Amino acid sequence: TAAGERAEAAFGRIDVLVGNAGYGYLAAIEEGEDEEIRKLFDTNVFGLADVTRAVLPGMRARRRGHVVTVSSLGGLAAFGATGYYHATKFAVEGLSESLAAEVAPLGIKVTIVEPAAFRTGWSGPSMRHSAIRIDDYAETAGARREATTATYGHQPGDPVRAAEAIIAAVGAAEPPLRLLLGQAAYTIATARLETLKSTFDTWRETTLGADFPGKETP
C-alpha cells in the first residue's frame, strides 16, 4: 500500500500493476512446516492481493488500467515436492480470473502470466526447503527436490524476453487473460488440457448421473 501511494505521488497514476512477488518451497505435503507454509501464502497470495487492492481505487476512478498477476505454469499443473507452491499459484489463478470478471466493465484489464522455468533465482537462492525429510518420499518428492535445484542457472527461459512478451500483451488491443511463457509452458499446459478432457469424457455418465432425475442431458 505504501509503495502504491509513493508511485501515485511520483507519477500521478498507476496504469499497469505487475504483481510479481513470490518464491518457491520444496517439501512433500507431509513434510510441510506450518510456519513456512503460512509465510509462503503471505507472500505469494496475500501480498499480491494486498497490492492489487491498493491500486484498484485509482484504476476504477480513471476507468482504465491493467493488472498483471504473475502466476506460473505451476498454477495450471502440479508436481511432487512443490505442492504448497502450486496451492499458492492455483489461488492466484482463481483470484485473478474473478478479478477479471469484476473489473472488465470498468475498463480495467487483467492478464495472468504463466511462465515455465526462467533463469531467475527461483530454483536457487530464493528457494526454501523443508528441514523435514521422510524416506518414503525419496523417489517422488525427494527426487524432484534434487531435479529442481539442479536446474538453477540452466533454465531455458529468458527473463528479458519474458518482460518483452508481457509488455507486448499489455499493449495489445485485446490482451489475453492468460499468457503462457516458454516452450515447456505451452507443451505441458496443452497436455494438461488433453488429460483433463480425456478424464472428463471417460467419467461423463457418472458425472451427469449426479443430478436429480429428469434433468436434460447436455
Beta-carbon-side half-sphere exposure of residue 97 (alpha carbons within 13 Å): 11
Rounded-to-integer distance, Cα 140 and Cα 9, Å: 50
Which positions are annotated as active-site residues?
71, 85, 89
Residues 6+ apart with CB under 8 A from 200: 207
Residues 6+ apart with CB under 8 A from 85: 24, 25, 40, 44, 72, 74
Tell me how far apart the alpha carbons of residues 93 and 77 are, in angstroms, rounded to a whole number.
Answer: 12
Report helix, strand or coil for 137: helix
Strand partners, 27: 82
